[in-house]
Homo-oligomer: A and B are copies of this chain.
């Protein structure tokens, strides 16, 4: 399992519209992708224009090869791309350790 962490800055004042669009895009496009496992949308308390998307994939390639080369990628960007104040910063993370509870 690989975590995609996307660090997003949106244009000011568009929080409600972005949140609605992102959820639609995740539920209707991302969630249907091969190798998709789960997602969370999180909103920064300190930085009102900052969001992180936490997306779990079965493998790194499910995102970087499978999803990004599919028509779904353009569909996703069409839904949310207009809200981005700058290109999202995306990296992928393996698990080192986690609490057991």
Taking the nearest CB of chain B, how far is it from the CB of A63, in angstroms?
A: 11
Taking the nearest CB of chain B, how far is it from the CB of A65, in angstroms?
A: 14
The A77-92 residues at the B interface (CB cut-off 8 A) are 91-92
Q: A3-B42, A52-B5 are in contact. Are A96 and B23 (CB under 8 A)?
A: yes
Chain A facing B: main interface SS: strand
Interface contacts beyond A38-B99, A44-B93, A45-B93: sample of 20 additional A-B pairs, CB < 8 Å, sorted by A: A5-B52, A19-B96, A22-B96, A23-B96, A26-B97, A26-B99, A40-B95, A40-B97, A40-B99, A41-B96, A42-B94, A42-B95, A42-B96, A44-B91, A44-B92, A45-B60, A45-B91, A50-B91, A51-B96, A54-B54
